[in-house]
Structure 1
């Protein structure tokens, strides 16, 4: 058991200075004062600290991305402490361009490994390509029968993606929708958006010519260029959920565009943020030749949150929603995840007065304490 005393709690809404008791993997009690005199209870002094929900990063290449500049550019798998040290207690893994040398089998195996090591992990079947790569040879079966799989991924408006028809896009989205309903999962189609000239039009056309609910399809990387960004605002104003990626361009960083989105009538809950961690970023010339490649970091999520507060003067409770409660609701994990409430999962971060990460708790276990990693992955 863990008892945190005298801590300011953001759920993410600020609820005041309280004590919080964690038993097993759950938050058991939140009260103005909780007293325990038992040596089996670990007591943490939360004075001058803020307790916030653990971050949820819904777009991480946990088995490594890349590979677009030949085999040597394949990014390695992520290790546990890379996630926990940046406050990430729940992660959603997926494949990228390469669905050939990497597989959904590998992805699910890595998810199970990270779960064994102490954090919450979900994945999406699929990759950039169509027909969709799967584990069971069926998108529906992957989502219905594999616990970790909550949706599917595909890519559009990108020279690296398959060129698919509206009917094919509708078919994948329908499969995802139905399998989510059957299995009681989110059942979402995450769509990697590239810089292609068609932008969001394939998604809009697929929705206009079908009965697929708009929230089934989730475009991500929508802040990679201004045209795509403003198209995504229209999409979100219709009730869709858009995902902003950290670290693409400074002027189009999530912290720079969120206020613009809100001023144009986009509902706050329709916006989420993710890191694209351990995926590769790449630049191409006008002929499609690769000129530069690098790797995205999962700490971009924490850096973005901190910058929203310290640089953009956003309220802590507002900034937190984009990396906690909004994401949990979008993935249909709320209030199990994304909040500090009684009976919610004990995923939490203790921040100091400068918003530096002091302690990270995942599923009731301390992973980082006093800025030191105390739980490492198996091969770290």
Structure 2
């Protein structure tokens, strides 16, 4: 058991200064004052600190992304401490461009490994390509029968995608939605958006010509260019959820885009942020030749959260929503995740006076304390 004393609690709504008791993997009690005298209870002094929900990063290439520049550019798998040091206690893994040398089997196995090591993990079946790569040869069966799988991924408006038709897009979205209903999961279709001229056009056309709810389809990387961004605002205003990627361009960084979105009448609950961690970023010349490649960091999520407060004067409650409660609600795991309340999972972060990550607790276990990693992955 862990008892955090005298700490300012953000759920992400500010709850005041409280004591918080975590038993097993759950938050058991939140009171003005909790007194226990037992040497088996770990007591953490929360004075001068803020307690916030663990971050949820819904777009991480946990088995490594990359590969666009031949085999040597394959990004390695992520290690546990890379997540926990960044305050990430729940992660959603997915494949990227490469669904050939990487597989859904590998993805699910990595998810199970990270779960054993101490964090919460979900995944999406599929990759950039169509027909969709799966584990059971069926998007529906992957979602319904594999515990970790909550949705599917494809790519649009990108030279690396399979250039699928609107009918094919509708078919995958329908499968995902039906599977989600059957299994009681989110049942979402994550769509990697590239720089192609069509932008969100195929998604809008597919929704206009079907009965698929807008919330089923989740375009990500929508802040990669201004035209795509404005299209995404319209999509969000019709009830869709858009995902902003950290570290694309400073001009279109989430911290700046959110302000613009709110000015355009977008409901803030329809906006989430993710890191695209351990995926590769790549630049191409006018002939489609790769000229530069690099790797994204999961730490970008925390840095963006802090920048929203320090650079854009956003309050803590609002900044937290984009990396905690909004994401949890979008994934149908709220308030199990994304909140600090009784019976929520014991996933919390203690921030110091400078909003630096001091302590990270995942599923009721201290992973980072006093800025030092206590629990490492098996091969770290």
TM tier, smaller:
over 0.9
* Aligned equivalent of 2:45: 45
Measure how far apart 1:367 and its partner are: 0.1
Q: Paired residues, what number?
A: 380
Distance of 1:254 and 1:332 partners within structure 2: 23
- Distance in 2 separating the partners of 1:305 and 1:167: 38
Any gaps of 5 or more consecutive residues in structure 1? Answer: none
Task: Indicate whether 1:210 and 2:210 are aligned.
Answer: yes
Cα distance in 2 between the residues matched to 1:233 and 1:200: 11
2:239 corresponds in structure 1 to 239
CA–CA separation in structure 2 for the residues paired with 1:196 and 1:287: 14
Once the 2 structures are TM-superposed, how far is the Cα of residue 80 of structure 1 from its aligned partner? 0.2
How far has the Cα of 1:349 moved from its partner?
0.1
CA shift for structure 1 position 163 = 1.0
Aligned residue number for residue 317 of structure 2? 317
| Deviation at residue 117 of structure 1 after TM alignment | 0.2
Pairwise mapping of residues 1-380 of structure 1 onto structure 2 (< 5 A)? 1-380=1-380
* CA shift digits 1:2-36 (9 cap, x unpaired): 00000000000111000000000000000000000
TM-score (norm 2): 1.00
- 1:341 Cα offset (Å): 0.3
- Encode CA deviations 1:234-269: one digit per residue, 9 max, x unaligned: 000111000000000000000011011011110010
2-side partners of 1:319 and 1:82: how far apart?
A: 22
> Partners in 2 of 1:263 and 1:249 — Cα distance?
20
User: The residue matched to 2:251 in structure 1 has which SS?
Assistant: helix
CA distance, structure 1, for counterparts of residue 250 and residue 166 of structure 2? 33
Deviation of residue 205 (structure 1)? 0.6
TM-score by length of 1: 1.00
CA distance in 2, matches of 1:372, 1:128: 37
Distance 1:164 1:129 in 2: 9
- Tell me how far apart the structure 1 counterparts of residues 100 and 239 of structure 2 sit (CA, whole Å): 35
Q: Which stretches in structure 2 are left out of the alignment for 5+ residues?
A: none
Q: What per-residue deviation string (whole Å, max 9, x for no partner) do you get for residues 274-319 of structure 1?
A: 0000000000001100000000000000000000001101000000
Q: What is the rounded CA distance, in whole Å, between the counterparts of 1:144 and 1:18 in structure 2?
A: 40
